[in-house]
Structure formats: structure tokens, C-alpha cells
Structure 1
């Protein structure tokens, strides 16, 4: 960390209890689907990235900020934060609503996941819950715009509460990153474009960068890497980011402000090793940001992002499959790249 006295991460925003289940195939409306294998785990970027970073390297300090209910689900999340070794003094507990919960179904037919959420206290999260006055962390990872009504709305002269929080983080010297949510392209642009001038990095998937840039980046289910690169360059001009990273099933690409781009293919995960995709995007972001924190070359950051995501696919829970960064890389080397 030469040249930077700050160390570690803050992950802020969504904390929810995921109830992960498997299902043969997603049923049509007015019919019945049978689910099994219930596993309750923490979810949301404020949980997932924080826990993933700690699993990659337990020595790194990791703080988390969020809002939970004063109920059994909230107590399970507090226990999960403690088990992971997170600094959780800014996990606020509210009596006004239950803890945000998500029913997460993983289709065995398609491999895709479907989330149905009861927002609970997530509807009450606002910039007042974020305090950066005493942190010595280097990176702040924030999400999820689109499912927090108070944060999504204008706040004290800012376009939305996300802008308010990002500005506050940067004022104390934090480097900022934002995680997106699957909402309509129009809503995504309305929420995220005002945030771009207050971001240092942006890590999104191929569909999200297309939505932000109003570009077609996925054609017939296949990622158009050239279109993603062009969309990233366009979005860089609208913000303060030094880089934009796009991940997709076949690989990931980082585009820097100077126009340089680096592509690294993803890990060839054996089909029999895949249990579910829950949390794989968070794991990629954790691996990539860990590499940035350690000042690795971008190619190595992307490599660890892929390795962490590949390991995450081995379990239904969002963080259970992530292991130490050296072991992640060893597993990825054994499996090879696409």
C-alpha cells in the first residue's frame, strides 16, 4: 500500500436475508413449482462483498453499513457479520419494519436465478445511516440503487441519496465503487448517471453497461465485446472513473480513462461443480477490487475476479464458495480458462 495510508474496505447499502432454494424449472403462472434445499444466508452488496473480501484475505479490515430489522432475520445477519469478522458498528437496527428478505430460486433447468424480495427496512435506508468520519478504509463499495426508495429519491439538493453518500465518501478520501441492480434501462440511467461524477471505479455486467450507454451489448445471448468496450469508453466520459470493468460469462474487460483495455477470459468451471450463480457477480467484484487494493496489474485483478466468481458457483449461498485468494487462483488454474 505504498503511497496510500488508507487500508481496507467499507461495503454499504443492502443487507438482506436470502432464502436460497433449488427448483426444477420456473413454473408458469397459475401453476405449481416444487422447491427444496432451503439455505438461509446473508445477501446484498453490503453483506456479500464484505464477506467475500474477508474470505479472500482475513487480514484486511472490512467495515459494513446497512439497516436491518429487530427480528430473527436481523439477528441472523448480525451473527453472519460477526462470524465473518466484519466491523459492523454501522449496521443499524430498526423497529419500524422487518428485515429485508429475498426468496432466491435457482432453476436446475436453466441455471438462472429468480429473486422475489420483501424490502422491509430497506425502504427506510437513507444517507443519514452512513458515517465516514472515523474510517481509515481505502475503498467504499455501495449498492443497490433501484430498491431503496429513500436513497433513490432526491436528497437535500442532490439528484438522489446515492449521490449524497458517494460525495461524502470521496470528501474523506475513500475511493468509490457502485453496484447496480436489475431494473429497467430507463430507471437505471436515471439513478446511475448522476452518480458517475462521484465514482472512482465502476464494475458492471454486459447488459448493465449497455443500458447505461443506450447501446446493444448483447446480441442473441452473446456478449459483444467490442460494443462493451465502446460503451465503457462512452460512460467514462460522463464520469470521474479511472476505469470501467465489464464482466460476462465468457470473460471480463477493463477499459481505462486513457483508452487502454485489457481482456481476460473466464474460468472453465466444470458443469458438475456448478450449484448456483447467486453471488457470483459480487465475488468477481471482490476479487477484482482486492487486486486493486493490493496494486496488482489489471490483468491479475481480472484473473482473481474470475477465480473468485468460479469458486462462488460451487454453492447456493452468495459467499460460501469463496476461499482464500491463493486457493481461488489454484482452483482456477486447475480448471483452466475458456
Structure 2
């Protein structure tokens, strides 16, 4: 019987750089702290899952560089007991690096990417017959040159990887990176018929549906519900979950619609949002894997994300599922 998760796609090094404020062009900001951490959906989701449940089997596949930064990521996989036999290395380019600037003033983050091996990754780097995971968590489209392009008869390489996973008997989930709406639609739409679940944020669901779901930083929950239902109809997913600051919505193939408010984390405990989306996805997917109700899975997603917010890093303050939920109860839930 299949159990656990395999993450595939982006493994990068995050240089988490805390600045006093995000400057306007031609102005300066003062660096307060620099921390190295693993980043990307392949790394963050895998580590989050092992922190939520150290007994959950987790595999990972992807492409990293042969140098020091690649060694750093190998160390993270080994530290958390993640099976990295499918994590390829190359000397043809450096490991992908993201400078994640976090404003101490607002807690918001700005990412600047060095693509490196991201441009070299192809569907040939993936083989899902080598693991016994139940669920594939795949990302990140839009920032991988060859994966984003047509591959054989498929619209893009992401479709090819999803086909491989389905052929091997895995359930599939897809994660996006925030970017131009047209690129999200171009790469994302062909993937929808090959997904079992989709977990995205409010901007991404709006981009996929062609709806305005966020206006001046404020999420329109009704538009999110409408967009989620439209995207569900475009693909083969059993469900679509959408997370945002105030809460999350869930729509399912049988017509169920659920809203779950987020955790009311104390301002003094909020350090940065980097990795919070990955933590939500891991918590939510963990609940589904364990047979929880949709509402309870959403609660764990929010609880894991709230725990993650206590650090500028991507996963260091995520705790076990039980501890995350207990922490959420201490803070309470939004109205």
C-alpha cells in the first residue's frame, strides 16, 4: 500500500535577508540579519511534512548543483530523513539561489532569483517507479526554462511529469509561484486535467480563472470561491483549496464549499511569511492523507502556516501536527 509523499521540482538555497524596510528605487535599506536555509517547494514541503510527523515517509526528486550550495541542500535532506536518491546533481550550473528579503517593518518578503540549474531541469530527471509514496507534490512552474516549454507531444514538461506520476499510481498536487497572470494560465491550464488536488493562494486562483480576487491587498472571498469553482471545472481535481491571510476556502467535486478562518497569530510572534504557503500546503495535505475532514485539514494548514510565521526562515518553527494545532488554539481563530 502506498504511503507518504514525494516532492518534485524546485530545491534552492534561500538567503533570508532581513532589512529594516523595503526601499524605493535609488534608496537604501539596512541589513539586520542573513540566514541560509533550504527553499523551494521540493525542499520546504518535504521538511514541513517531516516536522509535522517524523514518521511520515518522504522522498524527493529534482536537480541541484555539484558545489557547496548543493552540499548544503543534501545536508538538509539528510538531517530530516528525506529519501534523496532521486535528487540529481550537475556541475553544469550552480544550485538555484533565492535572495528572500524580509522587511522588519511589514513582515512582507521580496524574492530575487538566480536560476542556475532551474534552466537545465527536464522531465527526464523524474522516475516515480522508484518510490512507494502515495502523493506527488510538484512545483514550481514559470521559473524553469525547459520544464515550462513544450516536451514531446505535451504542452510543457510539467504535464509530462504529472503523466509519469499518474502512470506510477500516485495522486498529484501542483504548486505555483507568484508571477505574471498570463504565464500562470499558459503553464497551469494544461496541467489541470492531470491533477487530483490543487492548493494555491488567492492571487494564483484568480490568475488561473481570469478573475480579480485581490484588490489593493484585500482578498475578495466571494471571488475566490467563484474562481475556485471555475478552476475545479477546468480539470480533474477532486478538490481545490485556496489560502490567504484571513482564511482559506475549499471546494470539492461533490459541490461542498467550506471556509475556514486563519489563526489570529500575535503580532509580536510574526517574523516573516517566507515558506508559510508551503507550510499550509503540507498541513492540509497531511490531513487529507490521514483521512481528516476538509475543514480539519484546512485548520492544520492554517496552524502550520501560523507556526511558520514565527521565523524569517521557511520551516524552522513548524512543529508536529498536534503542537501546531495546540499553538493555534492558544492564539485563537479569526472571526
2:115 matches 1:88: no
* 2:102 maps to which of 89, 100, 106: 106
Please report how far the alpha carbon of residue 314 of structure 1 lies from its aligned counterpart in structure 2 after TM superposition: 0.5
Q: Which residue of 2 aligns with 1:267?
A: 263
Please report how far the alpha carbon of residue 36 of structure 1 lies from its aligned counterpart in structure 2 after TM superposition: 2.3
Q: Which residue of 2 aligns with 1:11?
A: 7
CA displacement, residues 253-283 of structure 1 (integer Å, 9 cap, x when unaligned): 1000122111110000000001110000000
Runs (5+) with no aligned partner, structure 2: none
Q: Which residue of 2 aligns with 1:53?
A: 49
Q: Which residue of 2 aligns with 1:126?
A: 122
Q: C-alpha separation between the residues in 2 aligned to 1:38 and 1:25?
A: 14
Q: Which residue of 2 aligns with 1:333?
A: 329
Q: C-alpha separation between the residues in 2 aligned to 1:128 and 1:260?
A: 38
Q: Which residue of 2 aligns with 1:293?
A: 289
Please report how far the alpha carbon of residue 221 of structure 1 lies from its aligned counterpart in structure 2 after TM superposition: 2.4
Q: Which residue of 1 aligns with 2:204?
A: 208
2:22 matches 1:26: yes
Q: C-alpha separation between the residues in 1 aligned to 2:257 and 2:131?
A: 32
* 1:242 maps to which of 238, 244, 249: 238
Q: C-alpha separation between the residues in 1 aligned to 2:253 and 2:272?
A: 34
- CA RMSD, 1 decimal: 0.8
Please report how far the alpha carbon of residue 108 of structure 1 lies from its aligned counterpart in structure 2 after TM superposition: 1.6
Q: C-alpha separation between the residues in 1 aligned to 2:235 and 2:294?
A: 20
Q: Runs in 1 of length 4+ with deviation above 4 angstroms?
A: none
Size of the aligned set, in residue pairs, is 334
* 2:168 maps to which of 167, 172, 183: 172
With normalisation by structure 1, the TM-score equals: 0.97
Is 2:88–2:125's contact at 8 Å kept on the other side of the alignment? yes
2:63 matches 1:70: no
Is 2:178–2:203's contact at 8 Å kept on the other side of the alignment? no
Stretch moving more, 84-93 or 210-219: 210-219
With normalisation by structure 2, the TM-score equals: 0.98
Runs (5+) with no aligned partner, structure 1: none
Q: What secondary structure, in the 3-state scheme, does the structure 2 residue paired with 1:237 have?
A: helix
